[in-house]
Amino acid sequence: MSRWEPNARGRLLKAALELYGERGFEQTTVAEIARRAGLTERTFFRHFADKREVLFAGAGALEDLLVSTVANAPDCMTPIDAAAAGVEAAGAAIQEGQGRELARLRQSIIAASAELQERELIKLASLASALAGALRRRGVADPAASLSAEAAIAVFRIAFDRWTTATDQQDLPRLIRESLDALKAVTAGQPPAEGHEQASAAAALKR
């Protein structure tokens, strides 16, 4: 999702998130979102297919960024490092565009709805599929392409959770790199790197 700006799409996004946070996703209507934003329902549907898509509108742009980053990664990169470069670029874009507070609010809204949780899983599966396809186009055969893509998405998910729940200011791309290092340590049978955060990432990836 993009950072809010004083335009119709930004006003609708801000209004929807506020209402979802206040009343719950299921209890909020498109009419109420449009009214809160000072716009019409017709304007809402020009920007979003339905009220659910407000929370997932940036998925296509993220997928394009993942794929292009993998395609442009140096030839010497291993499949997992190329896939991780893609999710790190996505993390940087989310941090810059959406910001942590909006990300936290979005995650709390999704966590409260089984329907939205299912949609989030579909989105992550789509990103993993796109990553695997990008790796195959680099000449990576299966199962390495699929395994690397799924691992990179797991790395992203763990890092994103740490970022949104941290009590202090954190850098999402750095957390992604730390989670990747933790994954490599786990798969190599090595103890996690020093530090509580790295150990927590390694423990999460073992589950």
Residue 5: per-residue pLDDT: 43
Residue 2: per-residue pLDDT: 40
CB neighbourhood size of 58 (10 A): 18
Q: What is the pTM of this model?
A: 0.80
190/51 Cα distance (integer angstroms): 46
Helix or strand run (H / E) with residue 197:
helix 196-206
Residue 10: per-residue pLDDT: 84
Phi-psi region of 24 (alpha: psi -120 to 50; beta: other; left: phi over 0): left
Task: Enter the tokens of residue 22.
Answer: 């206040």
3-state secondary structure of 200: helix
pLDDT one digit per residue (tens) for the chain, 207 residues: 444 445 888 899 889 999 999 999 999 999 999 999 999 999 999 999 999 999 998 889 999 999 999 999 999 999 999 999 999 999 999 998 878 888 888 999 999 999 899 999 999 999 999 999 999 999 999 999 999 999 999 999 999 999 999 888 889 999 999 999 999 998 888 765 555 555 555 555 555
Residue 4: per-residue pLDDT: 40
**Where do the domains of the chain lie, and which CATH numbers do they carry?**
8-53 (1.10.10.60), 58-206 (1.10.357.10)
